[in-house]
Structure 1
Amino acid sequence: MWRFILIVGLFAGQVLGQPLPEGFGLAKEHAGDRGIGHDPAVLFAEDFETGDVQAIAKRWGEMSNKGGDAVSLADDSAPGSGGKRAIEMTASLDHNTGGHLYTTFDGVDQMFARFYVKFPEDAGYVHHFVHLGGYRPATRWPQGGAGERPRGDERVTAGIEPFGRNGKVDAPGDWNFYAYWHEMKKSADGKYWGNSIWPVQRQAAPRGRWQCVEVMMKLNEPGQRDGRMALWLDGQLVMDVHQGVRRGRWTGMGFDLLDEAAGGGEAFEGFDFRTDERLKLNFFWLLYYVTDRAVQRHHEPAGRRHVVWFDNVVVARRYVGPIFGR
């Protein structure tokens, strides 16, 4: 009898996954994010409060700032931080497609990446946004690979992106994961574009205010399907993707998560992100990428200036959560 209970319990734990935290996390130990970069659980932290853009780029390791006006400093800051500055990224399609900051760190099997983002009231749509993941070997710059399925021992990436659903929702769009891994599905054109994963409830990226966004990615044990991804918005868990959750039809476009109580769909097989344990998570890419294609796909007027602000980035081994009040 006890053996039966133990087996059932292990199976349920594998299907349901361990509960994830919400609300304040590691940040509660560092009011206003003060000193958070020195916490042993933190892999990287940036509040944009010191140095000019070039000094910030040096701290990160790699920056894209075409023409010198794609990345700049702004007089704004995330609420509760006590700061005075944020980083501004601008896409002016007559001469650039936005900018980025990219950093690397020693590889880990699980990482949490928290950042604050603010879109203007007249926000436009984007093509690609913030990414994290792992390259083997690690590189000091972001790699390509669009339209290609990676091998299970060389690359795994996931973006957290607002997508405008071809102009059907207000800009900048609804949050979704955009992932590349060796078991992704093929698109209708025969290529492998990122598979999008959507939460049960629509999560629109707000305009005109700061939002705390946090992503967790956990790699699988090779040969197992115990990988996991999760998304928190303002400290609330809004998406948790792991083996056993209900999903809709999975195509080269990705899949939607379904309400467990409503039934339907089928159980997600689970993430087999890697086939080799030497593939680790080792980069974070603060990216703002806008193209003519994104503008046209969303039926947006040409010629507009696109802008976004970021602040208080923390990449850690533990859940970070929103800034804790000072």
Structure 2
Amino acid sequence: MRAFFVLFLVGASVLQVQAASPDPAPRIESVVMADVQPHTTDSAVIWYDNFDDPSNQKQYGEQSGKLTETEHFGAAGRSLEMGYPKGSRGVGGRKIFFGDSPTSRGKVVRGNESFDEIYWRIYVKHPADWQGGGPAKLSRATSLVPPGWRQAMISHVWSQGEALTLDPATGVRNGEVVTQRYNDFPNLKWLGNRPASNFKLHGSDGLGRWVSVEARVKLNTPGQKDGENQLWIDGRLEAERHNLDWRGTFTERGINAVFLEAYWNEGSPVDQARWIDNFVVSTQPIGPVVCPRNPELIRAQDVNASKTWQVELASDESGDNVVWQSSATDNPERMIVSSDTGQFVGKLVGKKELGADEIYFCRARQLENSGKWTAWSDWHQPFRTTPD
């Protein structure tokens, strides 16, 4: 559908007739993952859950919401559904405890360790018709201290309108934990929630497809202000906080829990849901999912999708190094990256598969009803290839 405005001058009045906008560029909803992800054997990984194995759910100290096969990253599987009936604050979440957590000791992962630095990653999908901006909560890492659920520090990954932001907080003063309970806001010291991400996870950038969200917390050296907090969305660094005093000189507990959360302060304006998949907690950077070197791309579907589309892959987030260009295809859902479906170019000219253990970004376009191609989408949906 094309867009134009027709202006009619009638006496002293102007009438505007508006048509629909040009067809938007398509995007890659997800990719078909390699059968084995590195998180299953990586010694740096504290926790990995793709929500396909029901037995994993027994490890969570607290959980709510259902697993669904209706939505999942890749070709098959399950995801965690966060449901939002109209007016509700959301249902669906998981709490994983690890290290020196004093809570749910019977379910604590790697309970004989203490962690001063962690990364955690999830994939999030909102439907294409999502409404209302962002629910306030998405995830957090925290340090729980006995007795009860006192918190020495919290790294919040929260919504700010359609964007995400980091909102770090400390519960330590003069080397002592001063919080008396969970979410003891009067006794927390907030360390800064701006700037927010440029990426609109709950808006035009993120709707209708799976988006990776990864965060990092590094506690400060005791007595120094050198803590770190970082946020990556869709493979790009979107927000960071430096020189943080997470804990003062307090060292009795490390980071020991990560929560996935649905809570929406104002309540959802309509009946809707979002989904979470491929949850990882690690002591090292995690990055995107791993795919075969001839990966299969899954197209995001929407009402404006046309039959004919194309894809390009680049080995950098800015698209300066394009390595594969597809032929136009009429397959409405899938595309395999190979020399049969396109051509390898740039540093991969003459090859038949992508490089080993490399990260690639995708972009796509489609043919409008007018016979013209849309503009290319932004570079998005990064994935890593398997090693040799």
Give the TM-score of the pair, scaled to structure 1: 0.62
- The secondary structure found in structure 2 opposite 1:36 is helix
Q: Are residues 1:197 and 2:193 paired? A: yes
Corresponding residue for residue 166 of structure 2: 177
Q: Are residues 1:135 and 2:144 paired? A: yes
Q: Are residues 1:162 and 2:159 paired? A: yes
Structure 1 unmatched ranges of 5 or more = 1-29, 65-69, 144-149, 165-172, 244-269
**Whole-angstrom CA distance in 2 between matches of 1:232 and 1:40:** 22
Do the aligned partners of residues 190 and 320 (structure 1) sit closer, same or farther apart at CA in structure 2, a change above 3 Å counting? closer
Which deviations, in whole Å up to 9, do the C-alpha atoms of 1:148-185 show, x marking residues without a partner? xx7xxx42111212221xxxxxxxx111012221479x
**Whole-angstrom CA distance in 1 between matches of 2:291 and 2:187:** 47
Deviation at 1:91, TM superposition (A): 2.5
Counterparts of residues 289-300 of structure 1 (less than 5 Å) = 289-291=263-265, 294-295=266-267
Corresponding residue for residue 71 of structure 2: 76
Do the aligned partners of residues 95 and 319 (structure 1) sit closer, same or farther apart at CA in structure 2, a change above 3 Å counting? closer
Aligned residue type for 1:312: N
Q: How many residues align?
A: 229
Q: Are residues 1:100 and 2:93 paired? A: yes
- The secondary structure found in structure 2 opposite 1:101 is strand
Q: Identity of counterpart residues, as a percentage?
A: 24
Corresponding residue for residue 89 of structure 1: 82
The answer to whether the Cα contact below 8 Å between 1:72 and 1:89 also exists between their aligned partners in 2 is no
Corresponding residue for residue 256 of structure 1: none
**Whole-angstrom CA distance in 1 between matches of 2:57 and 2:283:** 23
Q: Are residues 1:111 and 2:108 paired? A: no
Do the aligned partners of residues 96 and 226 (structure 1) sit closer, same or farther apart at CA in structure 2, a change above 3 Å counting? closer
Do the aligned partners of residues 94 and 236 (structure 1) sit closer, same or farther apart at CA in structure 2, a change above 3 Å counting? closer
- The secondary structure found in structure 2 opposite 1:242 is strand
Deviation at 1:41, TM superposition (A): 0.5
Do the aligned partners of residues 274 and 99 (structure 1) sit closer, same or farther apart at CA in structure 2, a change above 3 Å counting? farther
- The secondary structure found in structure 2 opposite 1:288 is coil
Do the aligned partners of residues 83 and 319 (structure 1) sit closer, same or farther apart at CA in structure 2, a change above 3 Å counting? farther
Deviation at 1:49, TM superposition (A): 1.2
- Please tell me the root mean square deviation across aligned C-alpha atoms, in Å: 2.9
Corresponding residue for residue 305 of structure 2: none
Aligned residue type for 2:170: W
**Whole-angstrom CA distance in 2 between matches of 1:215 and 1:74:** 26
Larger RCO, structure (CA 8 Å, separation 6 or more)? 1
The answer to whether the Cα contact below 8 Å between 1:219 and 1:274 also exists between their aligned partners in 2 is no
Corresponding residue for residue 228 of structure 2: 228
The answer to whether the Cα contact below 8 Å between 2:37 and 2:290 also exists between their aligned partners in 1 is no
Deviation at 1:36, TM superposition (A): 1.5
- The secondary structure found in structure 1 opposite 2:59 is helix
The answer to whether the Cα contact below 8 Å between 2:171 and 2:189 also exists between their aligned partners in 1 is no
Deviation at 1:133, TM superposition (A): 1.6
**Whole-angstrom CA distance in 1 between matches of 2:289 and 2:77:** 15
Deviation at 1:75, TM superposition (A): 2.6
The answer to whether the Cα contact below 8 Å between 2:165 and 2:194 also exists between their aligned partners in 1 is yes
Corresponding residue for residue 271 of structure 1: 245
Structure 2 unmatched ranges of 5 or more = 1-32, 100-113, 174-184, 293-388
Aligned residue type for 2:61: G
Deviation at 1:241, TM superposition (A): 1.9
Corresponding residue for residue 318 of structure 1: 284
**Whole-angstrom CA distance in 1 between matches of 2:44 and 2:251:** 21
Which deviations, in whole Å up to 9, do the C-alpha atoms of 1:227-271 show, x marking residues without a partner? 10111112222223213xxxxxxxxxxxxxxxxxxxxxxxxxx33
Which one of the candidate residues 271, 275, 282 is aligned to 1:305? 271
* Structure 1 or 2: more strand by fraction: 2
Deviation at 1:39, TM superposition (A): 1.6
Deviation at 1:315, TM superposition (A): 0.3
Deviation at 1:201, TM superposition (A): 5.7
Corresponding residue for residue 286 of structure 1: 260
Do the aligned partners of residues 162 and 203 (structure 1) sit closer, same or farther apart at CA in structure 2, a change above 3 Å counting? same
**Whole-angstrom CA distance in 2 between matches of 1:232 and 1:132:** 15
**Whole-angstrom CA distance in 2 between matches of 1:111 and 1:284:** 10
